[in-house]
Amino acid sequence: MDAGTAVAGVTLTATVMAAIRQRIATRSLTPGARLPSIRAFAVAMRVSKSTVVEAYERLAAEGAIRARAGSGFYVAAPLAPLSLAEIGPRLDRAVDPLWISRQSLEAGEEVLKPGCGWLPASWMPQAAIRRALRTLSRAGDAALADYGSPLGLAPLRALLARRMSAHGIEVPPAQIMLTESGTQAIDLVCRFLIEPGDAVLVDDPCYFNFHALLRAHRAKVVGVPYTATGPDTALFAQALAEHRPRLYITNAALHNPTGATLSPVTAHRVLKLAEEAGLTIVEDDIFADFEVAPAPRLAAFDGLRRVVHIGSFSKTLSASVRCGFIAARPDWIEGLADLRIATSFGGGRLSAELVLALLQDGSYRKHMEALRQRLARAMAETAARLKPIGILPAIEPSAGIFLWCRLPEGIDAAEIARHALAENIVLAPGNAFSLSQTAKSFLRFNVAQSADPRIYAVLQAALRKADACSTTRR
Amino acid sequence: MDAGTAVAGVTLTATVMAAIRQRIATRSLTPGARLPSIRAFAVAMRVSKSTVVEAYERLAAEGAIRARAGSGFYVAAPLAPLSLAEIGPRLDRAVDPLWISRQSLEAGEEVLKPGCGWLPASWMPQAAIRRALRTLSRAGDAALADYGSPLGLAPLRALLARRMSAHGIEVPPAQIMLTESGTQAIDLVCRFLIEPGDAVLVDDPCYFNFHALLRAHRAKVVGVPYTATGPDTALFAQALAEHRPRLYITNAALHNPTGATLSPVTAHRVLKLAEEAGLTIVEDDIFADFEVAPAPRLAAFDGLRRVVHIGSFSKTLSASVRCGFIAARPDWIEGLADLRIATSFGGGRLSAELVLALLQDGSYRKHMEALRQRLARAMAETAARLKPIGILPAIEPSAGIFLWCRLPEGIDAAEIARHALAENIVLAPGNAFSLSQTAKSFLRFNVAQSADPRIYAVLQAALRKADACSTTRR
């Protein structure tokens, strides 16, 4: 071989390597997928087999692909082991969705958390929970020590069926399965219905943990802009045609983070498009009980044919007592129960017994009535205190805990969040919720965590500083 | 086109379809993998592109593969949606692993469950649990209503670290993460470390739910025969060379189902082979507290470099109060915490608080001392009652709840299990635990669930009937 051939050989090898890298980057080859056979790819690329062998071996040495004895080459995980932070576009650290969750979950008592997604423990029905624990201490042996049944505590499922019926969702208890949480419910549905590389639609913006969850499933996440009445239906239709998604994950009433409410017209249109495209919808309704005026439920319109309905008590009762649920088609519930046993065995019976006790004795209903009024007051107060510093609601939510606010022109929410964190305040900057990264001038406020005046002082200082910097840069 | 060409066309299409089907069946193309491009495969199969198009379209119509707009064809899931019962070799219904779990979980009080994997609720420390619930009813607000921290309750992790130290496993609390259960712990580790199509080693026989769990991960499960002192190391080495597995999932002391104990020699040899092959080991130690004499822990020898250690309290304290844990390398614990937040958000703080209370007040230690003695008596009694009917222990376990027994020559355990089920008795036939289906003459007995004389009467009748049939067939 003379020098010229050697150079040409190197170039051809690089070309083959680039072709494979591109397929991985564009996800036409997803992690775990087998690479084309050496012979077939040599033909396809019009190079010799030895060139393909060389290219594959170099990619394997780089860790981009992996050889398996006797069965060819496979696309490696983006990192082995799986790192959620590395999958998908790498976001700025301050707006990394997992970072916000972990900051909120790890925060000590000295930290204020207007950016977190749940109520303070003191807003929960403490007296009722304590009473329920004492009642439970006198329950039968099985309640305290046995596994739950595959679908979970039957009387609680019967009660949930009656509650869903009040939202127009007619579902027998046998089509409801209890889970540890709303998140675990969505995760199970994803494991059941999607494969790596499948496209999944989410709202843009949406609850940031949907991004992290879907990355864990190696799904191709596609965002659809969310309006004040639901997803933009024209762009929704376009996304269906372009990406043929398997799932659409959304909130029912009281959208997170915007506080918007799905209108009946949009609900009907979304369902019609879903039917035409064979799309399944996961309707996450964990904020249902905050609602004051009833909004339409996709599951109610659809009769659980292509809609899976999810709920939980983490936001309204206790996040320490883990209890969520799934309502779905009977054949899916059977498969989901098998999958749940395989991946976490029995459900938490003790938690289910506690939730049942609280729902049955009327304390939950009374707690929610008071809580809705308290939240309405907190919502008005938070808006009134944000207004003078130039932070205004983008949508007037009908109820709930979230206020989705726009910052003054030219201000980057991530910068404000970094400033606030240095002052022990966890904020939720808009881009954490936005796949397209088009929410940089938004912040989500949890009105139940926004009472401390220090929050507004720090926000004002951060805004002044950011404004001064942006003026200097001009 | 004349008739002859048309016939040849059909035959060629069928050949191409058969080639793809074979690749799917042999898992050289795994679910979600992209099929070879039409052009490349036409070249490889020496047929026209239109023949490949025709073949792919027919396979898509059959549901074996799926087209994605603009990006080719992909292997469909064995069923869409995922059905665990359909993945992997379809076992006889009576020995389907999920079937046993569901029978055990769904069984009413009239059903006897010598085949189930846990203790009767009445054997659990009921008085202590009731006391702990009353104590918890006076705990702080956060304990009752807040999310747990990402790794879980710090004092419980500190206590677990001290307990592991007693087994020679030195691990700081920061390298321990609480989970909802041992199964959830293993599931998280699998999600973190393996990709679809990766090979995973299990013991043959092993806990049947490992098969179901690994099928949910679309892993290639490889069995290694388990002996009275641990896995057969020669065959273990051979499996490493042949399949290059990513993980080996096994029990620490008190192997399920055999009750065997890993010897130090085997432990050392397994670790050495794992190091050479870059293999990670998941050591499921949920039966640790049943142990009387301490056996070696792989995690102790290895210092948690390539061993992940798993535990739980479902078998010894309560399966209604969900609490398991993972001890692993610090970088992996970080990634696992992110993954847990993404897929189930916070852990169950209430359960962790309950377990902590029970471990701290000494009631757990006293309970376990009494329980070990009670189990030793039950073990002797069960063996003594099985002996006259010709069912003999294959291994004499040093402790624990399981007795792995061999049936008389020529008797099929699945047949006995079907007979027993008709009499409201759930048994655990050997092949449910065996990937190679070589345990057809074994049954696993849970000695804590085997006190009722009806079990032995039904077993005797079933054996007589099976023996009569097999005599007739001779």
**Do A238 and A341 belong together in one domain?**
yes
**Do B154 and B263 belong together in one domain?**
yes
The tokens describing A460, both together, are 């004002």
Q: Which of chain B's residues have a Cβ under 8 Å away from the Cβ of A150?
A: 102, 105-106
**Do B128 and B107 belong together in one domain?**
no
Helix, strand, or coil (residue B368): helix
What mean pLDDT do residues B17-44 have?
81
Q: Is B216 within 8 Å of A345 (Cβ atoms)?
A: no
Whether omega for the bond prior to residue B257 falls within 30 degrees of 0, making it cis, is yes
Indicate which CATH number applies to the domain containing A326: 3.40.640.10
What is the spatial distance between Cα A232 and Cα B219, in angstroms, rounded to a whole number?
39
What is the spatial distance between Cα A312 and Cα A265, in angstroms, rounded to a whole number?
27
Q: Distance from CA of residue A283 to its chain's centroid?
A: 12
The tokens describing A147, both together, are 């596994």
Classify burial at A187, counting beta carbons within 10 Å of its beta carbon; exposed 0-12, middle 13-18, buried 19 or more: buried
Asked, for residue B50, whether it belongs to a domain, the answer is yes
Q: What are the C-alpha distances in Å from B400 to residues A12, A145, B259, B371?
A: 62, 18, 7, 10
Indicate which CATH number applies to the domain containing A28: 1.10.10.10
What is the full DSSP assignment across A36-74?
Answer: PPHHHHHHHHTS-HHHHHHHHHHHHHHTSEEEETTTEEE
B197–A341 C-beta distance less than 8 A: no
Does residue B85 have a pLDDT over 50? no
What lies within 8 Å, CB to CB, of B472 at 6+ separation is none
ipTM above 0.90, yes or no: no
Residue type, A138: R
Given 3-state DSSP classes, what are the helix, strand and coil percentages for chain A, each rounded to the nearest 5? Answer: 50, 15, 35
Does residue A89 have a pLDDT over 70? no
**What angle separates helix A413-422 from helix A453-473, to the nearest 10 degrees?**
130
**Do B112 and B129 belong together in one domain?**
no
* B113 CA: distance to closest CA in chain A (Å): 13
**Do A452 and A310 belong together in one domain?**
no
Asked, for residue A85, whether it belongs to a domain, the answer is no
* A106 CA: distance to closest CA in chain B (Å): 5
Whether omega for the bond prior to residue A296 falls within 30 degrees of 0, making it cis, is no
CB-CB: which of B195, B196, B344 is closest to A181? B344
Q: What is the pLDDT of residues A331-385, one digit of tens each?
A: 899 889 989 999 988 778 999 999 999 999 889 999 999 999 999 999 999 999 9
Classify burial at A130, counting beta carbons within 10 Å of its beta carbon; exposed 0-12, middle 13-18, buried 19 or more: middle
- At residue A245, the pLDDT reads 96
Q: Is B288 within 8 Å of B320 (Cβ atoms)?
A: no
**Do B344 and B307 belong together in one domain?**
yes
What is the full DSSP assignment across B129-179?
Answer: HHHHHHHHTTS-HHHHHSPPPTT--HHHHHHHHHHHHHTT----GGGEEEE
Q: Which of chain B's residues have a Cβ under 8 Å away from the Cβ of A320?
A: 142-148, 348-350, 353
A124–B130 C-beta distance less than 8 A: no
Asked, for residue B81, whether it belongs to a domain, the answer is no
What lies within 8 Å, CB to CB, of B468 at 6+ separation is none
Asked, for residue B84, whether it belongs to a domain, the answer is no
Does residue B10 have a pLDDT over 70? no
Helix (H) or strand (E) holding B8: helix B3-25
A351–B105 C-beta distance less than 8 A: no
Whether omega for the bond prior to residue B81 falls within 30 degrees of 0, making it cis, is yes
Asked, for residue B390, whether it belongs to a domain, the answer is yes
Name the residue among B131, B191, B359 with its Cα closest to residue A87: B191
CB-CB: which of B102, B192, B350 is closest to A81? B192
User: Per the structure, how many domains does chain B have?
Assistant: 3
* pLDDT band, very low/low/confident/very high, at B226 (cuts 50, 70, 90): very high
User: Of B75, B105, B135, which residue sits at a domain end?
Assistant: B75
Q: What is the pLDDT of residues A229-264, one digit of tens each?
A: 999 999 999 999 999 999 999 998 899 999 999 999
User: Of A340, A364, A388, which residue sits at a domain end?
Assistant: A364
Q: Which of chain A's residues have a Cβ under 8 Å away from the Cβ of B216?
A: 191, 339, 342-343
Asked, for residue A80, whether it belongs to a domain, the answer is no
Indicate which CATH number applies to the domain containing A99: 3.90.1150.10
DSSP lists the bridge partners of residue B119 as: none
Helix (H) or strand (E) holding B282: strand B280-284
B191–A101 C-beta distance less than 8 A: no
More confident residue, A71 or A24: A24
Span of A144-148, B98-102, B170-174, B382-386 with lowest mean pLDDT: B98-102
**Do A195 and A275 belong together in one domain?**
yes
Span of A12-26, A42-56, A290-304, A388-402 with lowest mean pLDDT: A12-26
User: Of A300, A332, A364, which residue sits at a domain end?
Assistant: A364
Q: How many residues does chain A have?
A: 474
Asked, for residue A265, whether it belongs to a domain, the answer is yes
φ/ψ (deg, to 5) at A275 = -65, -45
Give the CB-side neighbour count of residue A74, counting CA atoms within 13 A: 23
CB-CB: which of B69, B196, B314 is closest to A244? B69
CB-CB: which of A77, A85, A149 is closest to B105? A149
Q: Which of chain B's residues have a Cβ under 8 Å away from the Cβ of A137?
A: 130-131, 133-134, 137
Helix (H) or strand (E) holding A338: helix A330-344
**Do A460 and A336 belong together in one domain?**
no
Task: Tell me B87's DSSP state.
Answer: S
* pLDDT band, very low/low/confident/very high, at B466 (cuts 50, 70, 90): confident
Helix (H) or strand (E) holding B214: helix B208-216
**Do A62 and A130 belong together in one domain?**
no
Does residue B175 have a pLDDT over 80? yes
Q: What is the pLDDT of residues A411-422, one digit of tens each?
A: 999 899 988 988
Interface probe for B, chosen from A343, A358, A363, A371 (most Cβ of B below 10 Å), is A343
**Do B282 and B403 belong together in one domain?**
no
Q: Residue B305 belongs to what domain range?
A: 124-361
Asked, for residue B136, whether it belongs to a domain, the answer is yes
Name the residue among B98, B76, B71 with its Cα closest to residue B24: B76
CB-CB: which of A145, A183, A342 is closest to B212? A342
**Do B262 and B179 belong together in one domain?**
yes
What is the spatial distance between Cα B102 and Cα B208, in angstroms, rounded to a whole number?
12
Q: CA of B240: which chain A residue's CA is closest?
A: A69
Do the strands A199-204 and A247-251 form a parallel or antiparallel pair, or are they unpaired? parallel
- At residue A137, the pLDDT reads 97
**Do B180 and B308 belong together in one domain?**
yes
What is the spatial distance between Cα A357 and Cα A348, in angstroms, rounded to a whole number?
15
DSSP lists the bridge partners of residue A327 as: A176, A309
Size of interface A-B (CB pairs under 8 A): 319
